[in-house]
Amino acid sequence: MGETELEIETVKVQAKLFADFREQLEDQAAKYHDQGKSKLEEILREVLHSG
């Protein structure tokens, strides 16, 4: 394998790692969004029922 082919393979691996990392971040963001939404709904229920 020549130097150019090695560089191409390296970039492919880096791109795959970046895509995996991005997917993990998107999953984490969705999880935090859902948790925040649930907490907001819980607070609203408490406020509405206490009044």
26-45 pLDDT, tens digit per residue, is 999 999 999 999 999 999 99
Give the pLDDT mean for 13-20: 98
Closest CA to 10 of 22, 20, 23, 1: 1
Q: Please tell me the distance from the alpha carbon of residue 27 to that of residue 35, in angstroms, as a whole number.
A: 12
**Encoded amino acid at 43, one letter:** I
User: What's the whole-model pTM score?
Assistant: 0.66
Query: With pLDDT > 70 as the criterion, what percentage of the chain qualifies?
Result: 98
Burial class (CB in 10 A: 0-12, 13-18, 19+), 9: exposed
Alpha helices by DSSP H, listed for the chain, are 3-50
Q: 51 pLDDT exceeds 80? A: no
